[in-house]
Structure 1
Amino acid sequence: MNALFLTQSTSLDMFYRLAGALREPLALDKIGFYATSSMDYEGFLKQTPEIESGSYSLLKEWEIIEQASGKSPDLEYIKNRENEIGDPGLWSAIVADRWLYQGKNSSFRQDYSRRYTHEELLSILEQGIKSIERFFDEVKPDVVFSFICVTFGEYLAYLIAKRRGIPFLNLRPTRIKDYVILGESIFEPSELIKEAFERYERGNGKASVAEEARRYLDFVTKGHAMYEGVIPPSAKAPAVVMSKKSIFTKASKKLKNTKDSFQGRYKHDNQYPGSLGPLLYQGVLNPRRAKQVNAMLSPGYMTEDKLKNTEYVFYPLHKEPEVTLLVYSRAYLNQIEVVRNFAANIPVGMKLVVKEHPASVGWRSQGFYKKLLEIPNVVMADPSIVSKTLIKHSSLVAIIAGSIGFEALLLKRPVVSLGNCPFNILPDTMIRKVESLEGLGLAIQELLEGYTYDEKAVLDYVAANMECGVQVSLYSKLLGKRGVYSLGGEGGVDADIERLAEYAVRRVRELTSDSSAGAAQSYI
């Protein structure tokens, strides 16, 4: 069997370890890695030089960008490939990639400035299709692994795998404790979860899993619904302001490598943040902006005491950019207009209470919030208030597709969603996905008047995720993210890789039979 791993910056280390753990149980022969972020790759290469020993096939995203540089796009070729592999189009692959579609500072600040021209993006798209299809021809994968989907390469690889009939497994959190799943596409909701949910609805689930789901629901009711990897609420920017001496020392070291960004090895890497960018924004500018925004908004913040005496709909802002908007719900990229639409469709006398995403504190300009507050019935919540409090006092929760919607369902509040989220499969007496904004007002009215809590459906959904997933510390251990909520988990990174590998073997065998596992795929 051959396997291809689509990695993103530091997830290369996780997938490399996973590939090693899968080599024997899946009898892996050829192994390929798609890598992004040359800076992260260099760090990984120093620790793991054997990745370039010739034993693995490699495709580096920054080399695709370099090969596309200065070339005119072949529109006829792109349109032909779009007809073959599009969904229905291919531009969605560009939109999915924040480092192409948004500004160069989008990794640490909301940045809509244009980085590439239309023609440059088309050239990158063309080169990406050609390079990735050649990579598939070289590796001849029987299965493709990926992690969420935030790069144009991963999006294109999914479309190519789908066209060629190659099983695709996308690693992502369920937002229930520390359970993750390997879904069969880059989109939500997952067919895997839908099928398991329907089975539990029919009474064909596992009793032990159903009992665990009950314990989880009891815990959420009494405690909280935070899941592994989430950022706890705060009024402060995610990065702490450093001392002037620390900033000067680090800046001096960074300046020595500035030429790499413009002339050297990072020149064509669209994910390279620059030598000083992260230090400047995360260490100084974002914390300063957070203080300025807080000073501007705090006099009008909705506090918990005010919430108790206000009839309102709660809308939690999404972090921008993120996969929920760019892939799952790309019709709703403009959150100011989303808020405007929700505010225009709630009952007379109600307010729309908007809360900032914890990871976006310090990211957005004061102008963003001023535009929100120009909408007459919109108010901002104190960002340090936990979501459970905002949900508990609300009449309804309005979302694009965020996990706060699921927490609201657990806490017996009706939810209106605009985008594609995994829990849209729950009964429409609890959550209503609005297919057209023309029907938004009616959906809100019907839920407010006819909401019915279905505990069995909630338990069935939780149990389906637990049965179909596996427990690992994806963000806090496997990806090494700091400042995120962690459940601790059993063992260290090696134990998590072992559990993830056992689960991956199960999922691969569910999608491919042993007799056909090594068979050649149909290549176009």
Structure 2
Amino acid sequence: MNFLILINSAPQYKYFYYGIGCALERLGHEVYYAVDARRSCVLEPLPEIDCGPKTFFFDEYFKKNYDAAISSNDSGVTWGEFFFSEFDRFLTHDFNLGRPAEYWEKAHHCLNGFFDGLINEKKVDAVIYENISNSFAFAASRAINRVGKSYLGLMASRLPGRFEVHTSILNDELNALKLLSKGTPSADELNWYETYRERIIHITPDYMKYNNLDRIGISKLFSLTKIKHVSRLLSSWVKTDHFYDYQFGSPLRAIIKGLEVNLKRKISAVRSFKYFETDSTVERTSASEDFYVYPIHFHPESSTSVLSPLYTNEFNNILNISNNLPLGVKLYVKDHMSAFGFQTSEFYRKVSALPAVRLIKPTQNIKTLMLKSKGLITVNSTAGLEALVLGKPVYLLGRVFYQDFPGVSKLEGFSDLPGKLSAPPMEVVDIKNYIIAYRRFTYEGDLRISSWRDKNNKYYDGLASLLLSKVGIESNLL
């Protein structure tokens, strides 16, 4: 079979996915690489990909075809579906916003042409990357679906020590979970669930445990790794034509914005601390008043920009949720440890001033808070899954894999809240079959990209064999 592996600017993905590509080749398959831009050759050099005859660079195709006539074969797709995952990053961090008026229409046209041509010419049977998290992946998934073939996206699970393989943005997962929930749990699955439920207060998903986004010190900006990265960015600014590097823009601008974002985060973290409730206040009030919990998301992130793009403005979310709560009921807004400080101190000041809101420190255990609460109101946080395990109702604004689980009330908008919250309490339903169904959807294993150096051929062979099984090929390594 023929596989196309996507490579873009996500740190260290290039090396990890090259390991998968080598494993597929060891199993006798053809592997091609689609890379977003030549910048990759400078930032993360890997001659086997950078100079390989099976590697294709989108920025080169974009430059060659920039002035070609524009046509579209994307009927039914909106601007937001195609590009908002990029613009959520651009707008959040204020970069890559100076493109000509016609630039994005040309980018759309060329992405379709690039992937349609590559997939058809090389007779690609499956595209491999992470979940559909950006326009590069979205365009590739649309192109491979047009020829009736598979998109395979690797993604860390919300359950520790497990990962997922996605074949769509969400629908395939929802359908699979519906079927998996009908199976009778085994004794081992029931024992796993009871252990998970008993320990859930102290369990952290792998993607949060290893992302290092809770580190807000300035010192990390001057580490040897960061200095090397900055020097390579400067080199790519000189060596590449970044006009056609549509996801990244100017490397020099990226350096400036990266420093600015991290400095502002440190300043905001220091200046905002006074707006959070003290631990003793939270301990006292949570025992004596009615409240719901709202977890702030990390932004930008595909969980919101792809699945729930209407709810990426956190202040708007908090304002509208709190405005729709009954008088006397509070909203405990729990900041995300990975997100703390990325919002401005003015954001925290305004949130803490809202009459229905208590602003909760990121260090507080959200699951302990949920146990005392009337329920969780969320866009699509992992905390929603945990709330269900804790027996708490979840009021869901966005889309997420657990949206059809018992105990979830789906909201069409903020104005649904008063009616949903005043309705008779939902009948308590045993959630274990649905949590076990989600576990069945996942696979045991470590998907940490940053530890790619520690992973041997056996690890990559196992992943490759799993991916082959998803397209109907059994390997003797399975």
Relative to the length of structure 1, the TM-score reads 0.79
1:67 deviates by 4.9
For 2:278 and 2:100, how far apart are their aligned partners in 1?
Answer: 42
For 1:140 and 1:473, how far apart are their aligned partners in 2?
Answer: 31
Which of 407, 410, 425 pairs up with 1:450?
Answer: 425
Which of 463, 471, 474 pairs up with 1:508?
Answer: 471
- State, as a whole percentage, how many aligned pairs show the same letter: 17
1:265 equivalenced with 2:228 (yes/no): no
1:415 deviates by 0.5
SS at match of 1:450: coil
The aligned counterpart of 2:462 is 499
Residues 461-472 of structure 1: pairs in structure 2 closer than 5 A: 461-472=434-445
For 1:420 and 1:103, how far apart are their aligned partners in 2?
Answer: 23
SS at match of 2:129: strand
The answer to whether the 8 Å contact 2:8/2:40 transfers is: no
1:496 deviates by 3.8
Which of 383, 390, 397 pairs up with 1:411?
Answer: 390
For 1:277 and 1:453, how far apart are their aligned partners in 2?
Answer: 52
Say if 1:260 and 1:113 are closer, same or farther in 2 by CA, change over 3 A.
closer
1:354 deviates by 0.9
Which of 207, 214, 217 pairs up with 2:194?
Answer: 214
1:112 deviates by 8.3
1:63 equivalenced with 2:60 (yes/no): yes
The aligned counterpart of 1:439 is 416
The answer to whether the 8 Å contact 1:470/1:499 transfers is: no
**Quick one: which amino acid aligns to residue 294 of structure 1?**
F
1:225 equivalenced with 2:209 (yes/no): no
**Quick one: which amino acid aligns to residue 22 of structure 1?**
L
SS at match of 1:132: helix
The answer to whether the 8 Å contact 1:189/1:420 transfers is: no
For 1:170 and 1:257, how far apart are their aligned partners in 2?
Answer: 28
Gaps of 5+ in 1: 481-490, 515-524
1:400 deviates by 0.5
Which of 1, 13, 16 pairs up with 2:15?
Answer: 13
1:53 equivalenced with 2:52 (yes/no): yes
The aligned counterpart of 1:517 is none
The aligned counterpart of 2:322 is 343
For 1:392 and 1:232, how far apart are their aligned partners in 2?
Answer: 26
SS at match of 1:303: helix
Residues 360-399 of structure 1: pairs in structure 2 closer than 5 A: 360-399=339-378
For 1:94 and 1:116, how far apart are their aligned partners in 2?
Answer: 14
1:174 equivalenced with 2:157 (yes/no): yes
**Quick one: which amino acid aligns to residue 103 of structure 1?**
F
Residues 14-93 of structure 1: pairs in structure 2 closer than 5 A: 14-25=16-27, 27-29=28-30, 31-36=31-36, 38-46=38-46, 48-49=47-48, 52-54=51-53, 56=54, 58-63=55-60, 66-67=63-64, 71=67, 74=70, 77-78=71-72, 81-83=73-75, 86=76, 88-93=77-82
For 2:131 and 2:438, how far apart are their aligned partners in 1?
Answer: 16
For 2:281 and 2:7, how far apart are their aligned partners in 1?
Answer: 41
The aligned counterpart of 1:485 is none
Relative to the length of structure 2, the TM-score reads 0.85
The answer to whether the 8 Å contact 2:197/2:390 transfers is: no
Say if 1:304 and 1:32 are closer, same or farther in 2 by CA, change over 3 A.
farther
Which of 256, 265, 274 pairs up with 1:286?
Answer: 265
Say if 1:161 and 1:251 are closer, same or farther in 2 by CA, change over 3 A.
closer
For 1:266 and 1:384, how far apart are their aligned partners in 2?
Answer: 43
The answer to whether the 8 Å contact 1:158/1:186 transfers is: no
The answer to whether the 8 Å contact 2:269/2:340 transfers is: yes
1:157 equivalenced with 2:159 (yes/no): no
SS at match of 1:363: coil
For 1:253 and 1:34, how far apart are their aligned partners in 2?
Answer: 22
SS at match of 1:103: helix
1:464 deviates by 2.0
Q: Would you identify which runs of 4 or more consecutive aligned residues in structure 1 move more than 6 Å?
A: 247-253
- Per-residue CA distance 1:269-294 (angstroms, 9 max, x = gap): 34265463376246644222211222
The answer to whether the 8 Å contact 2:269/2:345 transfers is: no
- Per-residue CA distance 1:290-329 (angstroms, 9 max, x = gap): 1122245467996334323332111011111111111111
For 1:503 and 1:257, how far apart are their aligned partners in 2?
Answer: 36
Say if 1:389 and 1:65 are closer, same or farther in 2 by CA, change over 3 A.
farther
Gaps of 5+ in 2: none
SS at match of 2:377: strand
For 2:370 and 2:177, how far apart are their aligned partners in 1?
Answer: 26
The aligned counterpart of 2:4 is 4
Which of 133, 143, 164 pairs up with 2:116?
Answer: 133
- Per-residue CA distance 1:101-131 (angstroms, 9 max, x = gap): 5437x4xx5x488443542221211221111
For 1:504 and 1:253, how far apart are their aligned partners in 2?
Answer: 32
For 2:261 and 2:18, how far apart are their aligned partners in 1?
Answer: 29
The answer to whether the 8 Å contact 1:352/1:379 transfers is: yes
**Quick one: which amino acid aligns to residue 95 of structure 1?**
F
The aligned counterpart of 2:295 is 316
1:64 deviates by 5.1
What RMSD over aligned residues (CA atoms) do the two structures have, in Å?
A: 3.5
- Per-residue CA distance 1:196-241 (angstroms, 9 max, x = gap): 43332xx3x5543343333322332xx423111214899x952422
- Per-residue CA distance 1:27-59 (angstroms, 9 max, x = gap): 413x2222236444435434x4365332x2x23
1:159 deviates by 1.6
**Quick one: which amino acid aligns to residue 136 of structure 1?**
I
SS at match of 2:102: helix
The answer to whether the 8 Å contact 1:173/1:180 transfers is: yes
